[in-house]
Amino acid sequence: MTEGGYTIVPYTIAYANELVADPIYFEWHAHEYRLTYGKPRRGDWVNGILRARVRDWRNRPDRRGPERMRKLNTARQWRCMDRLLCQVCGGPATDRETGRIPWALTKTVFERTGPDSGRTNAPPSCLSCIPKAMEQCPMLRDDFTFYTVASTTSAGVLSDLYDHGICDRPILAKHNVFVAWDAVRYHAYALAVAQVVELHGMKSL
């Protein structure tokens, strides 16, 4: 994105040096195999699902390297969902006047679950960033619906699902699969790349 000739890098986009290539393995844990990093750390798992590691150096221009427009920073996407932050500027997305949360959604990131509810892995956008996002993001421009949302709940993760290969090596089986927090049988095989939330009280504009 550009503004006044400067590139705007959306808050959720990863920079080159934030990407982490630590290998994952299957390990025997609590009577089943599960995915793990070679040297596990506290915070690698969220509700029993391994989360993709990434650094968060958005405020360290000296270290972060160039942006990678097609790569998501999982840590910042997660924070956007937890705290309802704008995916473009990283500020609070909730409209102070109405208390509702603006949300621009394309078909590819949205699954309807009821007349006024649905699931998405795309964080909200604040009102002042929506025109910028529309102008610059070809996917949004071509096919989007603009909603406001009353509230959200965490639904699960968007993940890569792995099969257990020889020597405990994981083999990627499916990419971008939604795994709900209560779909416990898949948790050990999933590497979470984004948090999915359920939107409630949706109104389209």
Work out whether 9 is an interface residue with Zn ion (CB under 5 A).
Answer: no
Give min distance, CB of 91 to Zn ion, in A: 5
For Zn ion, the closer CB: 126 or 197: 126
Binding mask 85-114 for Zn ion (x = CB under 5 A): -x-xx-------------------------
Residue (2 or 176) nearer to Zn ion, CB: 2
> What does the H/E/C string look like for the chain?
CEECCEECCCCCEEEHHHECCCCEEEEEECCEEEEEECCCCCCCEECCEEECCECCCCCCHHHHCCEEEEEECHHHHHHHHHHCECCCCCCECCCCCCCCEEEEECHHHEEEEECCEEEECCCCCCCCCHHHHHHHCHHHHHCCEEEEECEEEEEEEEEEEEEECHHHCEEEEEEEEEEECCCHHHHHHEEEEEEEEEEECCEEC
We find the least distance from the C-beta atom of residue 5 to Zn ion, in angstroms, to be 20
Interface with Zn ion in residues 68-87 (CB under 5 A): 86
Are the CB atoms for 188 and 35 separated by under 8 Å? yes
CB of residue 9 vs Zn ion: minimum separation in angstroms?
13
Give 123 or 170: the residue with its C-beta nearer to Zn ion: 123
In the block, residue with structure tokens 């393995």: 25
Residue 86 CB, shortest distance to Zn ion, in Å, is 3
Nearer to Zn ion, 26 or 147 (CB): 147
Within positions 106 to 165, which residues make up the interface with Zn ion, using CB under 5 A?
Answer: 126, 129
Give me the 166-195 binding string for Zn ion, x by CB under 5 A, dash otherwise: ------------------------------
Q: Say how many residues touch Zn ion, by CB under 5 A.
A: 5
In angstroms, what is the minimal distance from the CB of 79 to Zn ion?
A: 14
Closest distance between Zn ion and the C-beta of residue 203, in Å?
20
Burial of 162 (0-12, 13-18, 19+ CB in 10 A): buried
Query: Which residue's CB is nearer to Zn ion, number 85 or number 192?
Result: 85
- d(CA 107, CA 125) in angstroms, rounded, equals 16
Residues found near Zn ion in the complex (CB under 5 A): 86, 88-89, 126, 129
